[in-house]
Chains A and B, each alone.
Chain A
Amino acid sequence: MTERYAQADAVGRRVRVVLVDDHRMFRAGVQAEIGDTARTGVEVVGEAADVDQAVTVITATRPEVVLLDVHLPGGGGVEVLRRCAPLTAAAENPVRFLALSVSDAAEDVIGVIRGGARGYVTKTITGADLVDSVFRVQEGDAVFSPRLAGFVLDAFASTDAPPVDEDLDRLTQREREVLRLIARGYAYKEIAKQLFISVKTVESHVSAVLRKLQLSNRHELTRWATARRLV
């Protein structure tokens, strides 16, 4: 994933970011890794260590992207998403959330994505990939790590019970293929080449999957997430 988007792309682009994580060391690490604005185009405008602080900082600074830890004192990332819902839904300059966590237990990941986060990456991600993900989220694209794609496929695969809403709850063949390739570690460009479609089409498929995941109220999705403690 390292050289997916050339670093040169960052030149001239700017994104304002808030870091939400209860580990100060980790915030410092991320700041050092991506916070060099001249090089990466990322400007860290605020940090928060718990839910209340996060809501305050996000409301005050109105960043474009929030890097959000899943586990937080005061209710976790889901609670931040819930309380910032008006900002996320704002018509102009919406705040977008990218979940960033050491936990990749299925219920945590699916939880924040359903709560409205635009993507999920693990903390083992490299700095370049993280910058890349931040920009993609800022542009409105969804960021699926291979593991998240696996979780989503798994959640939508268990379709023994008839879905409540056929259109909403079923992934199309194409979306499934795209997810599968993401899970296998393909980059968007490679997926586009493999499926003979454009990168933009890949992006729109991924966004569609994200929307279905967030809107789908199939009860087995939640049940699935809580019943398994997949790692």
Chain B
Amino acid sequence: MPASAAPRTPHAPDPADEAPQRRLYRSADGRMLGGVARGLAGHLGLPVVWVRLAFFGLFVWGDGLGVLLYAAFWVFVPLGLGGRSGGRSFHELFETLPDGGRRLRKPARGQITALVALCVGAGIFLSKVQSGGASGRYVWPTLLVGAGVVLVWRQADNARREHWAAGPGGSRRMFQLARACAGIALVGIGLTLFIVVRGSAAQLGNVLTAALAVLAGIALLAGPWLIRMTQDLSEERLMRIRAQERAEVAAHVHDSVLHTLTLIQRNADDAGEVRRLARAQERELRNWLYKPEGTGKEEAEEPATLAEAVKKTAAEVEDHHGVPIEVVVVGDCPLDERLGAQVQAAREAMVNAAKYGGQGGPVQVYAEVEGQTVFVSVRDRGPGFDIDAVPDDRMGVRESIIGRMQRNGGTARLRSAPDGGTEVELEMERAAKAA
């Protein structure tokens, strides 16, 4: 059922009123077997427990009618996404009821109750069967076959559910395989027992041979068609994935590259602006193309390592001041407090270099992690200046770079010469625990 049809607000419950067009789905969420009860409950607007009890009652006192009904629902009703939201929202509705609804809030509790009820029912059923005598001989094989079928069918449901849920881990796949094998084995044992119980144990071999022959015939007839169908299906899925990827690339190119190109056309006379735009776009595109899935595509996140922090800082300064900054990073390490300060100092140095030395070509930033020492150099080829000639009240270099480094236990060296460019070298020991 559509999620919009199920209100999340806790007003008085009467879901049957507002959803005349809802379709019945089995619930994929919070189910015990096939999700039939939960799906029905969501559809009818009843508590899950009631539906389960009804099935159970039909099973115990209706000579197994409950099982048949359940099985029929399972086979014919599709597993739905809607079942999830419907069941969930109904759950919320129910728990707001004043009369003891709170107790049903935790699904775990409800499941335990149902499980206990199931065990009791099984006990009753078994005692009935034991007294049944002759007919009891068929009960065990039937139960075995039934259990096997349930196992395998639930497996198929899970496979369908993969479309909505995230892909399973390796261990889960193994578990599913084991479950499928167990189900098949149960069915096989049950069928064999059937034959044995019927007293035709002597003809077991003949029956098995005949069955195998029939199976082989079916496989021969339907096999190629089945294979073709699975191949077509997987191919179709591949095409769809490709189309999605292409759409994503197209969207990204449209949002960023075309946008930038338009800006460049508009600013064609302003060489500095064009260069700035082109470099920013290049950087973003590289980031997008080469970064592994899930990283680097969101700009907002804070960098966790030194290399990222230095690159990000350089990119920001570059964008802000329109001077190209070339970054070379050797090695990497996690960012700690002292390194954060070092990156801040480096940022200040980059800003200075961009402001005063940007005419001499790109600013070059080099960061290296070697053992415990982190070294950063920022270098420009601008006019340079005489450090001793800088008045005492100019605090930029003295405080933001040298002072900051010293406060955090590092060193900063500044080399500058008229017409020789400026180079700032920052050295910092990493925090000891990061070793």
For A180, the closest partner residue in chain B by CB is B368
- Chain B residue nearest in CB terms to A158: B331
Among B329, B330, B370, B379, point to the contact of A185 (Cβ < 8 A).
Answer: B379
Count B-side interface residues using an 8 Å CB cutoff.
Answer: 18
A-facing residues in B312-330 (Cβ within 8 Å): 326, 328-330
Tell me the smallest distance from the CB of B432 to a CB of chain A, in Å. Answer: 20
Give the nearest-CB partner of A2 in chain B.
B361
Complex Cα spacing A51 to B358, Å? 40
A184 within 8 A of B: yes
Whether a CB of chain B sits under 8 angstroms from the CB of A90 is no
- Are B328 and A146 in contact, with the CB atoms below 8 A? yes
In the docked arrangement, what's the CA distance between A154 and B332, Å? Answer: 10
Contacts of A185 in B (CB 8 A): 326, 364, 366, 379
When the two chains form their complex, are residues B366 and A184 in contact, meaning their CB atoms are under 8 A apart?
A: yes
CB neighbors of A among B280-331 (8 A): 286-287, 290-292, 326, 328-331
- Find the A residue at minimum CB distance from B331: A157
The verdict on A38 contacting chain B, using a C-beta distance below 8 Å, is no
Q: Are B370 and A147 in contact (CB under 8 A)?
A: no
A231 at the interface (CB under 8 A from B): yes
Q: Do A153 and B361 form a contact, CB below 8 Å, given A105-B290, A229-B290, A231-B287?
A: no
Residue A150 lies at the interface, judged by CB distance under 8 Å to chain B: yes
B416 at the interface (CB under 8 A from A): no
* Contacting pair B364 A150 (CB below 8 A): no
Complex interface bits, B69-89 against A, C-beta within 8 A gives 1, otherwise 0: 000000000000000000000
Complex: how many Å from CA A157 to CA B373? 14
Is A231 within 8 A of B368, CB to CB?
no
Main secondary structure of the interface of B (DSSP, over half): strand
- With A and B bound together, what is the CA distance between A105 and B290 in angstroms? 8
CA distance A157 to B330 in the complex (A): 8
Q: Decide yes or no whether A34 CB sits under 8 A from chain B.
A: no
Interface flag for B377 (CB, 8 Å):
yes
Interface residues on A, range: 10 to 19
Residue numbers of B with Cβ under 8 A of A are 286-287, 290-292, 326, 328-331, 361, 364, 366, 368, 370, 377, 379, 423
Contact A231 B326 (CB under 8 A): no
**In contact, A1 and B361 (Cβ under 8 angstroms):** yes
* B296 to A, closest residue via Cβ: A231
Q: How far is the CA of A218 from the CA of B423 in the complex (A)?
A: 35
Asked whether, in the complex, the Cβ of A229 is within 8 Å of the Cβ of B292, the reply is yes
Tell me if B330 and A150 are in contact (CB < 8 A): yes
Which B residue sits closest to A186, measured CB to CB? B379
Do the beta carbons of B286 and A183 come within 8 Å of each other?
no
Chain A residues with CB below 8 A from B377, complex form: 184
What are some 14 contacts across the A-B interface (CB < 8 A)? A146-B326, A146-B328, A146-B364, A146-B366, A147-B326, A150-B328, A157-B331, A183-B330, A184-B366, A229-B290, A229-B292, A231-B286, A231-B290, A231-B291
Question: Contact flags (1/0) for A199-216 with B, using CB distance below 8 Å?
Answer: 000000000000000000
Q: B364 — which chain A residues lie within 8 A by C-beta?
A: 146, 184-185
Q: Does A149 contact B (CB under 8 A)?
A: yes
Interface contact B361-A157, CB-CB below 8 Å: no
Known contacts A157-B370, A180-B368: does B328 contact A149 (CB below 8 Å)? yes
Q: What residues of A have a CB within 8 angstroms of the CB of B368 in the complex?
A: 153, 180, 183
How far is the CB of A196 from the nearest CB of chain B, in Å? Answer: 16
Within 8 A of B (CB), among A136-185: 146-147, 149-150, 153-154, 157, 180, 183-185
A183 touches B292 (CB 8 A): no
Assembled-state Cα–Cα distance A24/B290 (Å): 25
A residues within 8 A CB of B361? 1-2
